[in-house]
Amino acid sequence: MGYTLKIGEAIINTDVEYRTVEIDTNIERHPEAPAYGEPTDHESQRWPSYSSWADFCREVGLYELFLDRESGIALIQNHPGAALLTEEVRQQINTALEKRRQEAEKAGKVTSYCDENPERKWEITCPDPCPKHDWQLCRLEWLAYWVNWAVDNCKCPVIVNS
């Protein structure tokens, strides 16, 4: 089990019969968006498991921003739910990305597929986990790309979890 995380323009859906309101967003697809051999490559959505997203957030320093429910302002405060993406959120994510890139460079890690798999296909040509890859950095690049796009292009940018 896990999340479906989507980033984009807020869409308000209502159900008059049940008197409910839900915030959602369309899935965007950009050919230049990050792609790492996953079914959601180039898209503004990802399907991480609950534990892999929590591990990712802890490892890149974004746990409080996303999952610290005691703060009352976490982006995943409720599940399912939605949260507004602000300039402050963008700055925190971009700062985490820059820090992680520097750490990966020092460690000789990469985010793209290594030379052992030049066609960028998900195959067993590279050991899993590949010692050359920083998969948390891959996730962070995806997150930063779509948060930056949403803050720059949406009237009401949100991250939706379902």
Identify any residues that bridge with 158 across adjacent strands, giving them in sequence order: 8, 84
| Residue 96 confidence (pLDDT) | 97
| Residue 123 confidence (pLDDT) | 40
Backbone φ and ψ for 142, nearest 5 degrees, come out as: -60, -50
| Residue 129 confidence (pLDDT) | 59
- Domain extent, residue 36, equals 5-118+126-161
| Residue 115 confidence (pLDDT) | 45
Amino acid at the residue 123: E
Contact of 3 with 48, CB cutoff 8 Å:
yes
| Residue 111 confidence (pLDDT) | 62
Task: Quote the pTM value.
Answer: 0.86
Q: List the pLDDT tens digit at each of the 162 positions of the chain.
A: 899 999 999 999 999 999 999 999 999 999 999 887 788 989 999 999 999 999 999 999 999 999 998 887 899 988 899 999 999 999 999 999 999 999 888 887 766 544 444 454 444 344 555 666 778 888 999 999 999 999 999 999 999 999
Overall number of domains in the chain? 1
Rounded Cα distance, 158 and 155, in Å: 10
